[in-house]
Amino acid sequence: MAAFTAAVPTNLLPALCEAGPPAARLVPVPDRTADLAAQLAEVEFLVLEHDRDDVVSCLAQLPALRVVQTLILGTEWVEPFVPHGVRLCRAAGTRDVGVAEWVAAALLGMATGLLGAARVQHTRPWVRSAGAELRGQRIVVIGQGSTGRAAADLLHGLGAEVVRVARRPRDGVHGQAELPALLPGAQGVVLLVPGDESTRGLVDARFLALLPDDAVLVNAARGSVVDTPALLGELRAGRLRAVLDVVDPEPLPATHPLWDAPGCVISPHVAGATRAGRARAVQFVAAQLHRYADGRPLLGQQVAAGPPGQRRDDREQE
């Protein structure tokens, strides 16, 4: 392939210059500036950080753009801005270990009482109570893409009885339509589905009402998957507990009642944000640049790229 220009985050430039293909002329993504579109006009391959809203908003103004590559799994924040015909790729599989370990830590912490104790440590209580064990608990994992499979496998290794659920049933995996029969027997539910219109409000009042008392909802998907007022009602009633890495709205305002809801532990969207996961994402991007230079199919890309907002990718969200 002829030489092409790729723009990458400045902090990734040394590593990608060393690992990338000779055909790639690597340039840094400019700092926030009024003439971003002009500076990126020759870029074919853009590696995009999710906090660069200024770059996202000018994608339609880049005439040479052919590929947008993210460094994280979710792409809903950029999909509406990617022009028709431009390939959108996510860093498939690079964050699976971190997310799976966060999910396991959430369930272990709630079962053993560790997270509950940490939540009130500032009040200096010395109140002992019997904890539980994750081993033997029935955990429903909704979403069986690579991240969902990694979490389910880890929980199974820890001795939990794992029930795998996806949009449609297949060998060893229940269909989403079976949830009304599966939820009443679950001590925990893990959400690892994409944040799109098909999953918006999946966990609503009816869903939560089917869970038994003291069950734990773990959300490492997107905040939009959960009806926040419905969850707040269950938490305030003391009937359910929750560990949330994602919320709606996000970031969560300091005055939002979720912060003080009983039985709720919140982390600021850090599941998967590990140093090792970041390193794997950089290796993934280097491999993608080689694939693009060689004319080979890219990984983690949209397979039916249509108008913005109507894309479908290769995630096993069903």
* Span 264-298, pLDDT tens digits: 999 999 999 999 999 999 999 999 999 999 999 99
Structure tokens at 250: 């996000």
Q: How far is it, in rounded angstroms, from Cα 70 to Cα 91?
A: 6
Q: How far is it, in rounded angstroms, from Cα 168 to Cα 176?
A: 6
pLDDT value of position 59: 97
Helix (H) or strand (E) holding 242, with range, is: strand 241-244
Q: What is the mean pLDDT of the chain?
A: 92
* Span 143-161, pLDDT tens digits: 999 999 999 999 999 999 9
pLDDT at 197 over 80: yes
Domains along the chain? 4-94+275-294 (3.40.50.720), 96-266 (3.40.50.720)
CB atoms near residue 258 (< 10 Å): 19
